[in-house]
Amino acid sequence: MYFCYVDESGDPGYFDPAKPEKSGTPYLILAGIIVSVDKWRVSLDTLKSFRKKIARERYLNYDIEFHCSEMIDPHKVKEFTTISVKDRWRLIEEFANIIGNNSGFTIIPIVLDKQKTRLNQDEYLTNSVTRMYEAFDEFLKEKKENGILLFDRANEKHITTHVRKLMGTGASGETIKDVRIGWVVEDPIFRISADSLFVQSADVVAYTLKEQEFPSGSRKKFNADRIFEKQLRKACFASKRTDEKGIIRS
């Protein structure tokens, strides 16, 4: 049995390049972290050890959620403001290193560029979720094991409705043409990210992938655009839809 923890960077809303400040993000990124049941406990202990280490070093208390976008651009968590920007990026890279070097983890990265895709806005989220399910199902088929997905609680109703159609588990029996999911079981589970170190790990993957795919000039001096390639790409699952950079383009 395998679990796949999923988090996102960006939003599924409309993006207007002429009015970027009044529309959604130019991207939607989903990142999944796969871990088997037999490596779940040791992987959790590894994540806990990292969090305890940075708490001992007086960077971030253990009970504060490691949330990359809030860490880099604090709005609600004042504790992040006591950490220098350079150290914030260093902590993110250290976390990415922990994830990328954990042999129990496999990553599924999915990128949707709203300025390049041919999808309609109402398909952004559902198409990305479909790609996540297809890639995870492919992984499970290779392992000959079943699995279940666990998402951050954002867009919970929308994702659940779509997945029930995707898997044919809804009361209506409705399915999506040409999509066959055979190894994923049950409806998705939704977690509060603050309560799950695995979802927080998926956040690190999604955020660093965003920095690689949509780099900001002011952040390049901290090598923010290189973290994913350096620390995480090696853990990516090579699915049928993965490109030469290890990424699925939705």
For residue range 149-184, what is the model confidence (pLDDT) as tens digits?
Answer: 999 998 999 999 999 999 988 777 777 878 889 999
Give the amino acid at 193.
S
**Domain positions in the chain:** 2-249
**pLDDT, mean of residues 34-44:** 98
pLDDT at 23 over 90: no
Structure tokens at 194: 């603050």
Q: In this structure, are residues 27 and 10 in contact, taking their beta carbons and an 8 Å threshold?
A: yes
Asked whether 190 and 129 are in contact (CB, 8 A), the reply is: no
Whether residue 131 has pLDDT greater than 80:
yes
Residue 206 has a pLDDT of: 98
Residues 206, 95: contact at Cβ < 8 Å? no
What is the percentage of the chain residues whose pLDDT exceeds 90?
A: 88
Determine the pLDDT at residue 135.
97
Provide the greatest CA pair distance for the chain.
54
| pLDDT level of residue 81 (50, 70, 90 thresholds) | very high
Task: Please give the residue that has the higher pLDDT: either 168 or 209.
Answer: 209
What pLDDT, on the 0 to 100 scale, is given for residue 175? 78
Distances (CA, A) of 33 to 54, 61, 97, 155, 243: 22, 24, 14, 19, 18
CATH 1.10.3470 fits 2-249, yes or no: no
Mean pLDDT of 121-128: 96
- Please report the pLDDT score of residue 176 as a whole number: 81
pLDDT of 19 higher than 90: no
Using one digit for the tens of pLDDT, what is the confidence trace for 97-116? 999 999 999 999 999 999 99
Q: Which of 45-59, 135-149, 160-174, 182-196 has the least mean pLDDT? A: 160-174
What is the model's pTM?
A: 0.96
The chain-wide mean pLDDT, for the chain, equals 95
Q: Are strands 189-191 and 27-36 parallel, antiparallel or unpaired?
A: unpaired
Write down the pLDDT at residue 168: 87
Q: Quick one: average pLDDT of 14-39?
A: 92
